[in-house]
A = this chain, B = another copy of it.
Amino acid sequence: MHSTFTALFTIVLSTTLGFAQNLIPDKADKDSIMIRSIYDEALVNGQSYENLRSLCKDVGSRLSGSPEAEKAVEWGKQVLDSLKFDKVYLQPIDVPFWERGDREFAAIKANKNMSLDIKTLGGSVATNGRIEAEVVEVQGLEEVKQLGREKLEGKIVFYNRPMDPRPISTFESYGGCVDQRYWGAVEAAQQGAIAVMVRSMTLLDDHAHAHTGSMGYKEGVTKIPSVALSTQSANQLHRQLESGGATVILDINPRTNENVKSFNVIGEITGKTYPDKIITVGGHLDSWDVGEGAHDDGAGIAHSIEALRILKSLQYQPHYTLRVVLFMNEENGNMGGKGYAAKSKEKNEFHLAAIETDRGGFSPRGFSIKPMNENQVGFIQQFAPLLKDYQLHHFEAGYAGVDINPLAEEKNIVNPDMFMLGLVPDSQRYFDFHHCDDDVFENVNKRELELGCAAIASMIYLLDQHVKQLK
C-alpha cells in the first residue's frame, strides 16, 4: 500500500489530551475517557513487553518443581514489589516435579537409522533403555480399541490424526484432537502396546519441532512411555509405513520426583469502597520446559501485571480490591489454581470477578464468559459499544480458564454470581508456538501484547464501576 491515500486518514496531533479527545469525539463520557487513557498508557508507556522479555530471557522456561520455576517465583515477587502495590505475598502450594531426561531419542530403524524429532510428553515414564518395536498407525482412541490386542500387543502405537483446520478458533481444533495425546497411552497399554508416539498438536503440517504437553495414566493400567512427534517426523513415519512398515527405536529417560513446595505470587491494590471484595486477574507462571513459555503463558503473566500497573499509574482508586495472581503449575497439575480456590474458600473471600489470560499474546478479540447466572453474558455485552473502537467484538458464553475454574466449583464457591472471564486473543498462530521450542519472546508482537493488557485493564475498570448495577 502506498502513501498518498493516507492523506485521507491524517489526523491532527497536538497534545496527548487533544489526541485522546480526537479519538472519542462524540462520546466523551467518563468511561470512554478512562478507557482511552488505559490504552494510551499501555501503548505509550507500556512495561508488559519488557516484563515478558525479562521473564523469557532472565528466567526462561520454568516447569513446576524445577529450580527455574523457583526463580520465576522470585522474579514475580520482585516485579510486583517494584510496582508498590498495597500488598504482595506468596501463597504456598505443593506441586509435582516431573523432569525430562537427558536422553530423548527416536529413529526409524534402517540400514542407516533415520532420526525423528520427538519431545517426551509431560508425565511420561521412561523406556528404561532402548526399546524397539514395529509401529502401527491409528487415527484415534477408537481405532485402538477396534484393532485390539491381536494387532497391537508389543507394538508402538502412532496416533496420527491431525488437528482439523476448519474451525475458525484453533482452540476448537485442539479440543477435537488432544484426546489422543492425553489418553493415548492408557488406551494403547490396554491393548498390550509398549509405547505411544503422538502427532504434535499444531496446525503447521510440516513443522520441524515436536510440541509437548501433558498426558495421563490410569490406575491399574500399565504405564507406557509416550512422546510427541513433530508433524514433519509424523509425515515421514507415515510415508515409511505406507511403503511397507517401520520399526522404531525409542529411548527416553524422564522421571517423576517427589512433590515440591512452590507458590502462587499475589499482588493487591486495596479497594476503597469494598476492600473485602475482590476482582482477580491472572495467568500462569509455570511453563513447559521447552522454548521460553512466551505465549504460554508469559504473555498472560505480562498482561495481568500490566493491567494493574496501568490502573495504578492512572491513579485509579478502585471500589473493589484488585488482585493479580501469578498461578503456579497450570501445565501439569493445576495445583496453583486448586490451592488458590481452596484458600479463598477457607478465608471466605468474596470474588466479584475472576479474569484469566492464557491464550497467548495476540491481538485481543474480546472475552469468553463462563455464565454463572443467566444475566451475565448480556451484562458484559453492554460494554461492547465502549470497546468497539478497540476492536473488541467477542463477548460470548464459553470457558474462562483452567486456573480460575476451581473458584467456581461447588465446594469452593463463595459468591455464586461471581463473573468468570477469559481473554480471547486472535487464535490463528497460537498452536504454531504452543508447547514447543518456538514459544519464545521473539514470536510475541509488542503492540499485540500491549492491546491485550489494555483490554483486560478496561474490563477490570468496567466491572469495578458497573457491577453493582447488575442486581
Q: Which residues of A line the B interface, CB within 8 A?
A: 1-11, 13, 19-20, 23, 39-40, 43-44, 164-168, 170-172, 174-176, 178-179, 181-182, 203-204, 213-214, 296-297, 330-332, 334, 358-359, 363, 365, 389-391, 393-394, 399, 401-402, 405, 426, 428-429, 432, 434, 445-448, 451
Among the interface residues A1, A39, A164, A429, which one has the most CB atoms of the partner chain B within 10 A? A1
- Among A6, A331, A394, A446, find the residue whose CB has the most chain B CB atoms closer than 10 A: A6
Q: Can you give 27 A-B contacts (C-beta < 8 A)?
A: A1-B296, A2-B331, A3-B174, A3-B178, A3-B214, A4-B402, A5-B399, A5-B401, A5-B402, A7-B175, A9-B175, A9-B176, A11-B172, A13-B164, A19-B164, A40-B166, A43-B166, A165-B447, A170-B447, A363-B363, A391-B393, A391-B394, A391-B426, A426-B426, A428-B445, A428-B447, A428-B448
Could you say how many copies of this chain the assembly holds? 2
Q: How far is the CB of A294 from chain B (nearest CB, A)?
A: 13
Write the nearest CB–CB distance from A65 to chain B, whole angstroms.
15
By a CB distance below 8 angstroms, the chain B residues around A405 are: 5
A389, B172: Cα distance in complex, Å: 13
The docked-state distance in angstroms from the alpha carbon of A331 to that of B1 is 7
> Contact partner of A39 among B168, B178, B446, B447, CB < 8 A?
B168
Q: What is the minimal beta-carbon distance from A126 to any residue of chain B, in angstroms?
A: 21
Task: Give Cα A389–Cα B394 distance, bound, in whole angstroms.
Answer: 10
Q: How far is the CA of A6 from the CA of B332 in the complex (A)?
A: 14
A178 proximity list for chain B (CB < 8 A): 3, 6
- A2, A19, A20, A428: which has the most chain B beta carbons within 10 Å? A2
Say yes or no: B391 contacts A176, CB within 8 Å: no
A18 → chain B closest CB, angstroms = 11
A432 touches B445 (CB 8 A): yes
